[in-house]
A = this chain, B = another copy of it.
Amino acid sequence: MKIKVLGTGLTKFGELWDKSLFDLAQEAALEAIGDSHLAVNQIEAVFVANMLSGKLSGQDHLGAVVASNLGLSGASFRIEAACASGGLAVHLAIQSLLSGTYKKVLVVGVEKMTDSPASEITSALMGAGSQTERLAGLTFPGLYALMAKAHMQKYGTTKNELAQVAVKNHYHASLNDKAQFPYEVTEEKVLESSCICTPFTLFDASPVSDGAGALVLSADDEPGSLPAGRQVFISGSAVATDTIDLANRKSLTEITATQTASQKALKQAGVEIKDIKVAEVHDCFTIAEILAMEDLGFCQKGEGGRFIAKGTTKLGGKLPVNTSGGLKACGHPVGATGVKQIVEITNQLRGNLGKRQVKGANVGLTQNVGGTGATVVVHVLQN
């Protein structure tokens, strides 16, 4: 499998009160199309990833809205799988290219969250979980806290190790002017901030964000090659599903859908996990990045906290993870996140990320999670 990434676009992430859902989608889309050097009307299909616009902005049918605003009359789609919507939209866009039906497609991930009251957002986000979880009064901090507590109990993971995920990702975000929180934090700051749900403090959680990301993709057999240094391909794309209810999993300390999807994507790409030089993973809470390290196979099960705390995944380390700042510090506009991860890895592989560039990055991976791991999408990118 080989899909060309022709262009990327990304808005600033944050509380963007001066921009609407539609403005954000349009800005990212036009940037990606411009970057691809295609004319807008060469785009044959638009895949829009979004979770919440129906509830928070009153707008469904977002594929047609985005296509319409761009003046396009080809096909348009909206794809949703909670926080994995972005990765899933890329996966389906790839299917449409591999099928030969479309030759050049646009993927836009967008979310507008900060105009709504906090209680409404929290309630809306619980649509990503199960009915049982909603009826039990659980929220996502609570669900991930259950996973964190189980990991601490079983493997001795500490609150300091959780905090180190936030410290690293804030450091990376400090080098990214698109990030919502482009500043560093200390371990003390993380540990002393308000407790939101034991064992998490505020700094263990990703924020509520507005933002959009976009990609222009084409089939590999399309004529026209990109200039040297801009040749980036998606070589693996896989999705796996686990139970929607966290309580029905065989274990609270692993996300099996990550294991399944990553093994499949790596096999498609013909690479091994040790070949990955840079990765963006789904750190909606600090524990999620620890689980991702283990379930992707970057380290042994139970070792994720120590693996991160010793600096392996910090810029300058052997395997920089979440150089964008991750969901934690770059921000988490849920529909945009999976697309943003691929934008970041594409730009790492193009070698144009300046202060946060990973030297020699030629194979990268993204992992995008929906809910507590009911949906996981993994992509592999290569030069």
Instruction: Enumerate chain A interface residues (CB-CB to B < 8 A).
Output: 22, 45-46, 51-52, 54-55, 58-65, 67-68, 72-82, 88, 91-92, 94-101, 123-124, 126-131, 134, 238-245, 248, 256-257, 260, 370-371, 374-375
Residue from the list B68, B99, B126, B245 in contact with A68, Cβ < 8 A: B245
Given A99-B95, A370-B61, A374-B61, are A68 and B127 also a contact pair (CB < 8 Å)? Answer: no
Q: Which residues of B contact A129 (CB under 8 A)?
A: 61
Which among A52, A91, A92 has the greatest number of chain B C-beta atoms within 10 A? Answer: A92
Q: Which residues of B contact A91 (CB under 8 A)?
A: 75
A interface SS class = mixed
Compute how far the CA of A257 lies from the CA of B67 in the bound complex, rounded to whole angstroms. Answer: 13
Residue from the list B52, B68, B95 in contact with A374, Cβ < 8 A: B68
Q: Which residues of B contact A65 (CB under 8 A)?
A: 130, 244, 374
Distance to closest chain B CB from A280 (angstroms): 20
Q: Which residues of B contact A99 (CB under 8 A)?
A: 94-99
Which among A61, A91, A97 has the greatest number of chain B C-beta atoms within 10 A? Answer: A61
A68-B243, A75-B241, A92-B96 are known contacts; what are 5 more A-B pairs with Cβ within 8 Å? A59-B131, A61-B371, A64-B81, A64-B241, A78-B79
Q: Which residues of B contact A370 (CB under 8 A)?
A: 61, 64
Q: Which residues of B contact A238 (CB under 8 A)?
A: 75
B101-A80 in contact (CB<8A): no
A-B contact pairs, 17 of them (CB 8 A): A46-B241, A58-B131, A59-B127, A61-B127, A61-B370, A63-B81, A63-B375, A64-B370, A64-B375, A67-B241, A68-B242, A74-B239, A74-B240, A75-B240, A95-B95, A98-B98, A98-B101
Distance to closest chain B CB from A101 (angstroms): 6
A73-B242 in contact (CB<8A): yes
Given A82-B60, A95-B101, are A131 and B22 also a contact pair (CB < 8 Å)? Answer: yes
A239-B68 in contact (CB<8A): no
Q: Which residues of B contact A101 (CB under 8 A)?
A: 95, 98
Q: Which residues of B contact A72 (CB under 8 A)?
A: 241
Compute how far the CA of A374 lies from the CA of B61 in the bound complex, rounded to whole angstroms. Answer: 9
B95-A375 in contact (CB<8A): no
Distance to closest chain B CB from A369 (angstroms): 11
Distance to closest chain B CB from A370 (angstroms): 6
Compute how far the CA of A94 lies from the CA of B60 in the bound complex, rounded to whole angstroms. Answer: 23
Which among A52, A100, A375 has the greatest number of chain B C-beta atoms within 10 A? Answer: A375
B95-A244 in contact (CB<8A): no
